[in-house]
Structure 1
Amino acid sequence: MNKLVSIVIPCYRSAEMLEGVVADIGREMDNLKDKYRWELILVNDCSPDNTFEVIRRLCEKHKNICGVNLARNFGQHAALMAGFHQVKGDYLVCMDDDGQTPADAIGDLLQGLEEGSDVVYARYEHKHHNAFRNFGSRVNDLMLKFMLGKPSDLYVSSFFAARRFIVDEMLRYQNAYPYVIGLVLRATRNIKNVTVEHRDRKTGESGYTLGKLLGLWFNGFTAFSEKPLRLATMIGTGCAFLGFLYGLYTIIKKLVNPLVPIGFSSLMSAIMFIGGMLMLMVGLVGEYIGRMYICMNNAPQYVVREIVGEEMHKPEDGLCNGPGQGPGEKEQEQNGPGRTRPGNN
């Protein structure tokens, strides 16, 4: 039997683009039908437009499409995790909903898996993002290298393919604040890149704002690395050493020339500098403690309001199915990882 490919797309403000994206995927997977079967999981991250209505229509039209509607906006990575809990495939493919990730490159990513890689990321030679998004990508790349030990020659993006055991390993992460790239890097280093073309965005604007990018960066290095704490310790040690040297300098200067006044401005500068650094370090430690507290309280990665499309095919199809479901749609509250749907083992 042909291998099953599960394609997961987090959706936000994509009502105008989604049908075209799905059509592109269908054409590419038809070209690969001799080797692969496929399913598509569309996760609506509580988009304020009618994105989920579009998803509902697509599920009614295509039996191998499953729609997941989140109760509120949890962010792209939480939406991906919600989709991962629905996949049945031997291979996973993740891509964006804006049409900038070319569906005709799915075969190239899958070929990389067939050649032995655990994960294959798309590499864009020329990204068609605005300057703000490109700057954010560069900062994110530097953060991944320093905090998570990403190889310098590895390009990571939101368009990638992975083997099933990587998906299973990512699903073991049950805490809030998921970070998919961190989960991949801690599971394997057998990763390769495939160069693909990055398309222009046909309509709409990116959902990423400065606040969301900052939150993503904080999530990456506080959830998957202790290096910020080590850096804080090093900075604190350096500040203490500089303060000690400055104290020696002040004493020696006073001994050499007793008439030299002790400067109030220099004292205030030292106090402000050291006080600011202390507040920075305390805030960083507080960030870690706060996230630990939230995780101890079992904060969900996501909450599913509704799942549609799963009743349209039989359990043996392995396509977003759930045995024992009656006709129509299924509405439920699902709290993040570790909660399986009734009849879905």
Structure 2
Amino acid sequence: MSVVIPVYQGEATLAAIMAEIECLTSVTVSPDGYPFVVREVLLVCDNGPDDSARVMRELDAQYGFVRAVWLSRNYGQHAATLAGMASSGNEWIVTLDEDGQHDPGDIGGLLDTAMREQASVVYAKPTNPAPHGYLRNSASSTAKWLLTKLFSGSNAPDYQSFRLILGSIGRSVAAYSGSGVYLDVAMGWVAGTVVTSPVRLRDEGDRRSGYSTRRLFSHFWRMILSSGTRALRFVSILGVVVGAAGAAVALFILVSRLAGNEVPQGWASTIVIVLLGFGAVLFSLGVIAEYIGINVNMAMGKPPYLITTDPAHGPLGRRHPRVP
């Protein structure tokens, strides 16, 4: 396994995380009996405001399994994670945060879920609320639901920064993703089975979040823009609905006049023209948006296919006996 940790404000927490991961650098057996070993930990420096770079250098010198990846400037968590995934070289990639909220001891449970479900991506699913307050937790849950159900059409049931990914999938995503793509949306394009595994989040302590309200909203908006063309199709659907309403109103007015009912002069033709015309405009915009969406997907690097190895001969094909 390769563990990827994007580092922005990790000065106070990285040393403790490395001490926890160190015990996983020798062969460890998961609860279901699958042996695994962490071969490398990739610390990706995202040029944060603290002295994380110094700590990374010290950890690189102290541990043989630690490797620092240096970015030229601050690019954000997802870009840093992609850089770490591209630099990895093992069968599985684990991504987790620098703040100690994720317990490295849960990696075995993620692996068991992957083998049990034959999944190429496993997201950690917290069994307790994240330590951010009710308002932020609610907003985060709502945003993830909107993205998954209404916009992306992804098969990912939840998005968390604590993930287990097949190495071939992770490195391929890192290779083709454009600069504006959202990492989890990109994985949803090519990953097969995507599932979740229960974990318990730990407290972050006194560490302040690096995401302000403005950055969180910007992050959510980028998720929507990079999620594909499903949102654009709402325009076409709205046009059809408005046009149908115009046709229904015209039919109602015609039937009313044939029945001898009085209809206000001028109102009938005006409302029908407005509804039919507005519906036609919206439908036309939706068609144009679909053409734009195709080019957007190309710009984001969405691949038409991804060639991989025979799953039966890779990590998912290994059926180790359960350890008594």
TM-score with structure 1 setting the length: 0.67
Kept after mapping to 2: 8 A contact 1:145/1:151: no
1:151 CA drift (Å): 4.9
Matched with 2:221 is 214
1:73 and 2:55 matched: no
Q: Could you tell me how far apart the structure 1 residues matched to 2:68 and 2:24 are?
A: 20
- Say what the alpha-carbon RMSD is for the aligned residues: 3.9
Cα drift, residue 86 of structure 1 = 0.6
Would the alpha carbon gap of residues 136 and 283 (structure 1) be closer, same or farther in structure 2, given more than 3 Å must change?
farther
The SS at the match of 1:99 is: coil
Secondary structure of the residue aligned to 2:176 is coil
Q: Partner letter of residue 78 of structure 1?
A: A
Q: Which segment is superposed worse, 164-173 or 277-286?
A: 277-286
Partners of 2:284 and 2:10 in 1: CA distance: 41
Q: CA deviation at 1:295?
A: 5.6
Amino acid at match of 2:90: G
Judged with a 3 Å threshold, the aligned counterparts in structure 2 of structure 1 residues 189 and 16 are, in CA distance, closer, same or farther, namely same
Residue 104 of structure 1 aligns with an amino acid whose one-letter code is G
What are the superposed Cα offsets for residues 79-111 of structure 1, whole Å, 9 maximum, x if unpaired?
211111110112111111221111111122233
Q: How do 1:1-345 and structure 2 match up within 5 A? A: 5-29=1-25, 32=28, 35-115=36-116, 116-128=118-130, 129-130=132-133, 131-151=135-155, 154-202=157-205, 203-207=207-211, 209-219=216-226, 221-222=227-228, 226-246=229-249, 256-257=261-262, 262=267, 288=293, 291=296
**Structure 2 counterpart of 1:209, one-letter code:** L
Q: Which amino acid counterpart does residue 61 of structure 2 have in structure 1?
A: E
Tell me if the contact between 1:110 and 1:161 (Cα under 8 Å) persists in the aligned partners.
yes
Q: What runs of 5+ residues in structure 1 fail to find an aligned partner?
A: 297-345
Letter in 2 for 1:52: A
- Which one-letter code corresponds to 1:236 in the other structure? G
- Which deviates the most, 14-23 or 282-291? 282-291
Question: Which runs of 5 or more residues in structure 2 are unaligned?
Answer: 30-34, 302-324
Alpha-carbon distance change, 127 to 286 in structure 1, aligned in 2, over 3 angstroms: farther
TM-score (norm 2): 0.71
What SS class does the counterpart of residue 140 from structure 2 fall into?
helix
Contact 1:40–1:64 (CA under 8 A) maintained in structure 2: yes
Kept in 2: contact 1:253–1:260 (CA 8 A): no
CA contact (8 A) 2:42 2:88 kept: yes
CA shift for structure 1 position 36: 1.5
Q: Give CA-to-partner distance per residue, 1:168-194, whole Å, 9 cap, x none.
A: 432452433233323333333334432
1:259-298, Cα deviation, whole Å (9 max, x unpaired) = 65749x989x979x879968985996697488469669xx
For residues 222-242 of structure 1, give each alpha carbon's deviation from its aligned partner in whole angstroms, at most 9, with x where no partner exists: 3xxx32233221112212222
Per chain length, whose mean CA-contact separation is higher, i.e. which structure has more relative contact order (CA < 8 Å, sep 6+)?
1
| Number of aligned positions between the proteins | 287
